[in-house]
Amino acid sequence: MQIIFGLLYMKKTEFCLLILMAGCMVISADSQGQSKRGWAAAPYLVEGNYEDTPVGDKMQRGNWTTGGSITGGYAGGMIRKQYSFGTTAQLGYLVAKRLVGGVQISYGSDHFDYKLPSAMATQIIKRHFHSLTPEIFGRYYITSYKVKPFIHVSAGPKWIWGMQQRVDSKARDMQQTQFTSSIAGGFSWLFKSKWAIEAMYQHQITTDSPLADGNSRTPLRIGVNFFLD
């Protein structure tokens, strides 16, 4: 009887040890699963560290950002050729979390030529214009995710100069200075820890100049942004 009770006691002890070991394995597996799920469920978060891959928050107050964007278009055929190009360079400072204020300068070029001017006797047959626009801007990133929408507003003076010619007259130089303002909405994709690719649609708030501005002729823009610590 003592031997039987001893065996039963040993079996109960071994059974308890097995239960304890299984419980530890479940807890360990669950912890590892949560760690993996935490990394997989939030790969687009800018904030926080995940396993061995730190992802810093670049949207904090006191950080700097610099970047630029381009736009352009082309249309050609047997009768006419037209193309435009625009580029913008920016330098910004995060005055608050996800809120950027800064300065930007834009350059634009617009060219238009008729190849068969005799068929359009009352129209412009040649137009070459350039523009320069220094502005202040504000931008607000709506979220802190890697892919985040933003709103961008800007305002400043615009100088346009160049030449224009009609078929019934000589080419003449033209220039104009005006105040301009615009608003844009877009998306920013932080594909590296400090680098982002951006795309936005820009709309002129003030009436645009009658002289062609290559920087505002096409509303769609693409660009890059670099966040400095």
- Tell me: the pLDDT tens digits for 87-140? 999 999 999 999 999 999 999 999 888 776 555 545 777 889 999 999 999 999
Strand ranges, E, within the chain: 49-50, 53-54, 64-76, 80-96, 99-114, 124-141, 147-166, 172-190, 195-204, 220-228
Encoded tokens for 198: 């951006």
Going by pLDDT thresholds of 50, 70 and 90, the confidence category of residue 34 is very low
228 has pLDDT over 60: yes
Where exactly are the structural domains of the chain?
A: 2-41, 64-228
Q: What is the CATH number of domain 64-228?
A: 2.40.160.20
Tell me, what's the pLDDT at 136? 98
State the chain's mean pLDDT as an integer. Answer: 77
Q: What pTM did the predictor assign?
A: 0.70
Going by pLDDT thresholds of 50, 70 and 90, the confidence category of residue 57 is low
Average pLDDT over residues 29-52: 40
